[in-house]
């Protein structure tokens, strides 16, 4: 251990290896954060960065339910085509409603995912002097 290590505030050292693509992404993130050095950026991310797990079980369950409804509608359509008891207009109306529901769920999932990603980008930024 070098002699000046005893005088350092931070005595533990860690090494990290990156691919060129990974480091390019890090440099891009550093620019967005206006980090003056890799050390500042790395410490800020490791200490204050937020881990965000994107998991929407309720919406995923809703999507599964809607897909099951779609399967039922397809069975109704098959029955109608075979027996000719159901009007085409009724089937088109039901399929239209299913499409509306799918679009609403997709929009909600997309919105929730965007909000989650934005929350992840909000980082507590400390002044360089504190490092």
CB contact at 8 A, 103 and 63: no
- Assess if residue 76 is contained within a domain: yes
User: Do 61 and 120 belong together in one domain?
Assistant: yes
User: Do 76 and 58 belong together in one domain?
Assistant: yes
Containing structural domain, residue 61? 53-124
Query: Residue 23: pLDDT band by 50, 70, 90 thresholds?
Result: very high
List CB contacts of 29: < 8 A, sequence separation 6 or more: 41
Residue 77 is inside which H or E element, if any? helix 57-83
DSSP per-residue letters across 93-110: HHHHHHHHHHHHHHHHHH
pLDDT of residue 124: 40
Domain count, the chain: 2
> Taking residues 40-61, what's their average pLDDT?
74
With 0.75 as the threshold, say if the pTM is over it: no
- Assess if residue 129 is contained within a domain: no
> Taking residues 13-24, what's their average pLDDT?
91
Neighbours of 52 (CB within 10 A): 13
User: Do 27 and 62 belong together in one domain?
Assistant: no
User: Do 42 and 64 belong together in one domain?
Assistant: no
Residue 17 pLDDT > 80? yes
């Amino acid at each position: 251990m070098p002699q000046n290590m005893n005088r350092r505030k931070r005595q533990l050292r860690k090494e990290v290896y990156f691919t060129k693509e990974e480091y390019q992404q890090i440099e891009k993130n550093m620019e967005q954060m206006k980090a003056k050095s890799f050390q500042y950026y790395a410490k800020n991310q490791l200490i204050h960065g937020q881990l965000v797990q994107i998991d929407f079980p309720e919406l995923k369950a809703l999507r599964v339910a809607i897909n099951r409804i779609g399967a039922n509608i397809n069975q109704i359509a098959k029955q109608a085509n075979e027996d000719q008891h159901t009007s085409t207009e009724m089937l088109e109306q039901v399929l239209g409603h299913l499409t509306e529901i799918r679009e609403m769920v997709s929009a909600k999932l997309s919105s929730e995912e965007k909000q989650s990603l934005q929350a992840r980008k909000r980082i507590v930024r400390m002044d360089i002097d504190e490092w």
